[in-house]
Amino acid sequence: MCDQCADGLSISGSRRGFLRAGGLLALGAGLPAALALPAPARAQGVAGDEALKRLVEGNARYVAGQLNERDFSAGRAARAASQSPFASIVSCADSRIAPELAFDQGPGQLFVTRVAGNFVNEDSLASLEFGAQVLGSQLILVLGHTSCGAISATIDVVKNQTQLPGHLPALIEAIRPAVLVAQKEKPEDMLAAATIANVRLNVEKLKQAGPILSQRVAEKKLVVVGGVYDLATGKVNLV
């Protein structure tokens, strides 16, 4: 769902429409009724620390080549009626990364937003707010990765004033702050340093994003962490 696509969830005001929907309940104080979902769609409330433990254990299975075998057709009808992901992921759009595989999770278990450079913009922020406030996800993991082309391109622009076509400059501007932070450290591996800086900056951005996420963090209803996926090994290292 797009960050700011609440209109698509508006419901009929008629009693008949209300009953057909199974009774819609708004989640959380101040949440508009238009964002209400059928009660079965609510997450069961996996605490953030437990959700992170599940991801770490799933990634260990992935690295070891011991993935849980799943019949993805099983539960399809139930997923069509509702979703209750236990974690949200901010991922790069890189085709070499599939969060569900990297963490050995099945359909309906992760709420994933993706953009080249794994940064948070207004659209993805609204999506993550939806995941936390409506779906009940209590963990957000910002997932960077090694050899990120978007970050590499940003480094090139910052160092060499390279001019990029189309809408690519907007992407560069979103990642530039991380490159500038990494530059100050004078690292041996600029790409690796900027990748970690980018993850950490976006973790802090999410922790401070009001009114929804910052409040949930303060109430200890949401954990926000960062990690970097190693393309060569498949291992995710928390940063």
Q: Which CATH number goes with the domain that contains 161?
A: 3.40.1050.10
Domain contains 27: no
The strand pairing partners of 228, in sequence order, are: 144, 237
Whether residue 36 lies inside any domain: the answer is no
Taking 50 as the threshold, does the pLDDT of residue 17 lie above it?
Answer: no
The answer to the question of residue 234 being in a domain is yes
Alpha-carbon distance of 133 to 6, in angstroms, equals: 13
Residue 17 lies in a domain: no
The predicted pLDDT at position 31 comes to 54
Asked whether residue 11 is domain-assigned, the answer is no
Alpha helices in the chain (DSSP H): 15-20, 48-64, 76-81, 99-102, 122-133, 149-160, 168-185, 190-207, 212-218
Domain carrying residue 219: 41-238
| pLDDT confidence of residue 72 | 77
pLDDT at 119 over 50: yes
Confidence of residue 5 (pLDDT cuts 50, 70, 90): very low
Across all residues in the chain, what is the average pLDDT?
86
Would residue 10 count as lying in a domain? Answer: no
Q: What is the mean pLDDT of residues 5-14?
A: 33
Q: What's the pTM?
A: 0.83
47 exposure class (CB count in 10 Å sphere: 0-12, 13-18, 19+)? middle
Arithmetic mean of pLDDT, 11-39: 40
- Determine, yes or no, domain membership for 208: yes
On whether residue 52 sits in a domain, the answer given is yes
The pLDDT of residue 69 is 73
Count up the domains in the chain and report the number.
Answer: 1
What average pLDDT score do residues 143-147 get?
Answer: 98
Residue 89 has pLDDT above 70, yes or no: yes
